[in-house]
Amino acid sequence: MLSAAVFKTNPFYKPFVIACFWILFFFLTTSSPLLAGEPTRQPVIAGSWYPAEPAALRKQITGFLENVKTSPQVENLVSIIVPHAGYRYSGQVAAHGYRLLENRSFQTVVVVGPSHRAVFKGVSVYDRGGYKTPLGIVPIDRKIIEEIKQTDPGIRYVYKAHAMEHCIEIQLPFIKMLLPNARLVPLLMGDQQYETCLKLADTLARCIRGKSALLVASTDLSHFHPYHEAKKLDARVLQRVEEMDPVGLYSDLKKGISEACGGGPMVAVMLASRLLGVNVSRVLFAANSGDVTGDRSQVVGYMAAALWVKSKK
């Protein structure tokens, strides 16, 4: 007590307290993620897979969206399936899915993709300070992420999964342009076993039911087959999606009758969508890299699809 009294009589006491107050205020209002040890994930494919310069990026995405001539009448959109190659290759296909977000509002976008670089069991969720894009930061949805982790404690943040992964980042400029205020739940599947898909679907359905949330499955289709062979493989995926048959899709992928690097995320999102009452599933557009580059010797397939609830009248 004595030392406190001595301290208070010090002529520098008042300015010291005022300075502390302002320093604390500054940190809490401008740098709270830093205090919490939550760095923003920096983009790793800006400037290569999509433009890093904001005006050029906006222009390219606007062009893609304008090129989408027809979109179906969608009532309660629940999910979209979109590709994740560089915009030069699959941006136009992705735009067919993202076009449905025009004049819609979702508070949260849950992106589920496959881990291309890190091998791990189960599912990783990035629960730090947000994903930076050239169009601004997409903040994470801390509340839904906490609910997901509580529902399935096996879902945790695996640093090596998100650090260099492209399949979530590539979606974000579209999301930032069309839903500028949306929050993100970034999920990566380290394994694509049916049990993992089923568990994730159940968790997602529980955690987003009744909320303003869109599910996004990030996947490309067949890889590096000649054009006509790829078309055949991809047609099988398209059919399973149109039939809303995630079990059949998983079985085909397992047997090698069809291919999709994000097969697990697609199956999980379809299963979750079914739990959320989806009764319509439509392929909006499909193409492959041969359609863009003209090189049909080895192509990668892409698809955009939408799943929604059509009310029974």
Cα(28)–Cα(24) distance, rounded to whole angstroms?
6
Tell the smallest beta-carbon distance from residue 181 to Zn ion (Å): 28
Q: Which residues contact 125 (CB under 8 A, 6 or more apart)?
A: 145, 148, 149, 155, 156, 157, 185, 186, 187
Q: Could you write out the three-class secondary structure of 217-269?
A: EECCCCEEECHHHHHHHHHHHHHHHHCCCHHHHHHHHHHCCCCCCCHHHHHHH
Closest CB to Zn ion among residues 54, 86: 86
Tell the smallest beta-carbon distance from residue 83 to Zn ion (Å): 8
Structure tokens at 249: 């899709």
Q: Which residues contact 214 (CB under 8 A, 6 or more apart)?
A: 77, 78, 79, 80, 101, 106, 108, 109, 110, 179, 182
Residue nearest to Zn ion (CB): 261
Tell the smallest beta-carbon distance from residue 165 to Zn ion (Å): 10
Site stretch for Zn ion (CB under 5 A), options 92-100, 135-143, 202-210, 217-225: 217-225
Q: If binding means CB under 5 A, how many residues of this protein chain bind Zn ion?
A: 2
Classify strands 223-225 and 299-309 as parallel, antiparallel or unpaired.
antiparallel
Give the type of residue at 296.
Answer: R
Half-sphere exposure of 123 toward its Cβ, with a 13 Å CA cutoff? Answer: 31
Closest CB to Zn ion among residues 127, 259: 259
Residues 222-281 that bind Zn ion (CB under 5 A): 261
Closest CB to Zn ion among residues 101, 261: 261
Closest CB to Zn ion among residues 78, 261: 261
Q: Judge contact between 76 and 180, C-beta under 8 A.
A: no
Tell the smallest beta-carbon distance from residue 84 to Zn ion (Å): 6
Q: Which residues contact 153 (CB under 8 A, 6 or more apart)?
A: none
Site stretch for Zn ion (CB under 5 A), options 123-131, 220-228, 243-251, 286-294: 220-228
Tell the smallest beta-carbon distance from residue 89 to Zn ion (Å): 11
Among 152, 169, 220, 234, binds Zn ion (CB under 5 A): 220
Tell the smallest beta-carbon distance from residue 236 to Zn ion (Å): 18
Distances (CA, A) of 293 to 38, 144, 227, 299: 41, 40, 12, 9
Closest CB to Zn ion among residues 152, 220: 220
Closest CB to Zn ion among residues 167, 207: 167
Binding of Zn ion by 170 (CB under 5 A): no
Closest CB to Zn ion among residues 213, 300: 300
Site stretch for Zn ion (CB under 5 A), options 94-102, 152-160, 171-179, 212-220: 212-220
The binding site for Zn ion (CB under 5 A) comprises 220, 261
